[in-house]
Amino acid sequence: QVQLVESGGRSVQAGGSLRLSCLVSGYIWRKYCMGWFRQAPGKEREGVAALHLGSGSTYYADSVKGRFTISEDNAMNRLYLQMNSLRLEDSAMYYCAADGCPPDHPPVETALDGQGYNYWGQGTQVTVSS
């Protein structure tokens, strides 16, 4: 059974940085994607970043490109999301997800589509204030 546990969310001022971590337990196929998604109150879930574990390809939403970086530490079974230059609109619950993407080179829209992911964590709250 795959379990994903996020951590690292907290309140931070605009312009600041945070690193989210997702601890993975259980077996994850390394030919699929892991990703970070977020959902703010009253808004739809949004794909933020994804990492194809097989190819190492990364995918980012336009809203975070150049500010966020997704990475993994395979030895530690962790997925990370480094978030820099945080903005008020980055405030949301952030979720880690696994077992997404087809095993080839998906387009960014597919990689960031939450419907393609089978495993989800409980989320960690990020609040950005002015």
Q: Is the pLDDT of residue 72 over 80?
A: yes
**Predicted pLDDT of residue 31:** 83
**Predicted pLDDT of residue 27:** 87
Q: What integer is the mean pLDDT of 17-25?
A: 97
Residue with tokens 């993975």: 24
**Predicted pLDDT of residue 41:** 94
Q: Is the pLDDT of residue 43 over 90?
A: yes
**Predicted pLDDT of residue 30:** 82
**Predicted pLDDT of residue 76:** 77
